[in-house]
Amino acid sequence: MVAEAPWRAIARRKQAERQSKIPSAWLLQTPPSPSTLDVRAVPRTSGILNSSELSITEDHDATSLADAIRSRTFTAEAIITAFCKRAAIAQQVCNCLTEIFFDQAIERAKFLDKEYERTGKTLGPLHGVPVSLKDSFDVSGYDSSIGIASLTGKPATKNALLVDILLEQGAVVYCKTNIPQTLMALDSDNNVFGRVLNPRNKLATAGGSSGGEGALVAMRGSVLGVGTDVGGSIRIPAMCGGLYGIKPSAQRIPYVGQQNGTRKGASKIGLPASAGPIAVSLRDCELFLNTVSNAKPWERDPSVAYGLWSEQGSIQRKPLLGVIREDGVITPLPPISKVLDETVQGLRKSGLEVVEIDAPAFKKCQSLANKFFGIDGGNHMFDLLEATQEPLTAWLSTRLRRGKPISLDRLVEIHAQKVELETEMLKIWKDPKTGRQIDAFICPVAPHPVPPIDRWNGVSYTSSFVLLDYPAGTLPIRDFKEEDLKGELSDSKPLGSWDKINRELWDERTIDRKVYLDTRLSVQVAAPKLQERRLYQAMSLIESTLRTGLVGRPKL
């Protein structure tokens, strides 16, 4: 007999350990039928949450929960208990959690309540607010296995700096969320914990690599989650869940204390990842970014740039937005062009000025970004997998293999190309007709709607802004409607292999378009480097304008 590969026993142990952390009273007595594709209503029908807990988890965002604690409407204990229950349900229907520490979170909430009662002061802006974390963040006493068997059973000995800052500002962390193997896939599946399912439509992808975070927030098992992004890994899951997600510039939010399966220091020579929020409201993204920036993280992490929230840019009194309709690599499918056009027309109809941006250099970004991925040949990651004879998941097995590390000469060359391209792209921030500064621009998050599992195509619309280090965010616009199923592609030749595959996501011979019906359509907004406050203001302006039809400046 062939001996069982070690990773299989490790996976069984980790899954059993995770299951044991869910109290028996929180287990679903009647799980939803496999044919139930939208599982977001399960918490309301489960009988596990009482009416107050349903209201806490459904009628509030993080900002209003913080206000409710300050006004003594709710206790921190009541809030975290409600979210622990709902996260437990989310795990049972979406497989979105990795590490669970509900008991520890409830004890912390009790402590916060006692301190508030004793002192009359909250610990910080996040006092009592539940915050979930992507599995890659170190939390003392828990694994950061990122779904790789050989990294299990090695709990972190201290918190990531960002976790410490969130705790210092009063947050209650209570779970970590599921990811794709290697963190390099666009669908969150791994051999240790299994696949994350999209609660809006289980046939559609939940995205990656912060897919568990997006699924948990979409289930309202969290209102404020923290993900990471090096190719689109915050913005893509946010789009898949119909949520808000912001990728800051790499030097804005502390990133130390992460497990990402690469050698320490590798990010300094590659494309550095960013940490940022996935949330149920735009103002919660602002709450996160404001709170972390004003905690002065640069005093404890030399890789973080100085900048209080008030110093991170501002839109002009007469805002000027731009629109980039396509990147020259993958042509957006009809529903994506349609929602982008609707957004631009809605803004212009309300009196807001939006100019068309011609950015020929944009099409160079994706190919250059690809040169930075896997500069070590993927050897460290393969060493981790082979230590327990763990195979690649099916999607990755045709895309990843060991390679030679990039040479120093080649590395210097691609960094020189990056600087040249960054300089060329600076031209897009000036309106060529008037010379006016463009505050932010709108473009697709992806060239297709939220696709079926394992069929996300290219990341050119998201990884480009990692290469350029622009802060960028996902802004949900509206649900995908029946009429969005109409519209055909032009007869022109595909721009390339990526464009050809993208067309298959609209070709009725290769896909049933109805899979898109229970998803949301979003746009992406980007701002200049290290201008996160300007990005937030632009996103807020766009959202409020589309909602009211009136141009008005957001609260600054």
Residue 474: strand pairing partners:
245, 524
- Ordered by start, the domain boundaries in the chain are 6-548
At 552 the pLDDT is: 44
- Segment 149-174 shows an average pLDDT of 98
- One of 3.90.1300.10, 2.160.20.60, 2.60.40.1080, 3.20.20.70 is the CATH number of 6-548, namely 3.90.1300.10
Q: What is the 3-state secondary structure (H, E, C) of 46-88?
A: CCCCCHHHHHHHHCCCHHHHHHHHHCCCCCHHHHHHHHHHHHH
209 among annotated binding-site residues: yes
Nearest to 523 by CA among 438, 441, 442: 442
At 268 the pLDDT is: 83
Nearest to 505 by CA among 516, 494, 495: 516
Residue 553, pLDDT above cutoff 70: no
Residue 496, pLDDT above cutoff 70: yes
Nearest to 318 by CA among 354, 294, 364: 354
Question: Is residue 500 annotated as part of the catalytic site, yes or no?
Answer: no
DSSP of 303-341, one letter per residue?
Answer: TSPP--GGGS----SS-EEEE----SSSPPPHHHHHHHH
The per-residue pLDDT for range 162-211, each reduced to its tens digit, is 999 999 999 999 999 999 999 999 999 999 999 999 999 999 999 999 99
Rounded mean pLDDT of the chain? Answer: 96
The per-residue pLDDT for range 411-446, each reduced to its tens digit, is 999 999 999 999 999 999 999 999 999 999 999 999
At 556 the pLDDT is: 34
Element at 176 (helix H, strand E): strand 172-177
Instruction: Centre a 10 Å sphere on the Cβ of residue 122 and count the other Cβ atoms it contains.
Output: 18
310 among annotated binding-site residues: no
231 among annotated binding-site residues: yes
The confidence band for 554, taking pLDDT boundaries of 50, 70 and 90, is very low
Element at 473 (helix H, strand E): strand 472-479
Percent of the chain with pLDDT over 90: 94
Residue 550, pLDDT above cutoff 70: no
Question: Is residue 134 annotated as part of the catalytic site, yes or no?
Answer: yes
Q: Which of 132, 144, 188, 209 is catalytic?
A: 209
Question: Is residue 314 annotated as part of the catalytic site, yes or no?
Answer: no
The per-residue pLDDT for range 23-76, each reduced to its tens digit, is 999 999 999 999 999 999 999 999 999 999 999 999 999 999 999 999 999 999
- Segment 307-336 shows an average pLDDT of 97
At 280 the pLDDT is: 98
At 543 the pLDDT is: 98
DSSP of 95-126, one letter per residue?
Answer: --EEEE-HHHHHHHHHHHHHHHHHHS--SSTT
In whole angstroms, give the CA distance from residue 50 to residue 48.
Answer: 7
At 549 the pLDDT is: 66
Q: Which of 46, 150, 233, 540 is catalytic?
A: 233
Residue 551, pLDDT above cutoff 60: no
Q: Which of 14, 85, 132, 134 is catalytic?
A: 134
- Segment 12-29 shows an average pLDDT of 98
233 among annotated binding-site residues: yes
The per-residue pLDDT for range 217-237, each reduced to its tens digit, is 999 999 999 999 999 999 999
232 among annotated binding-site residues: yes
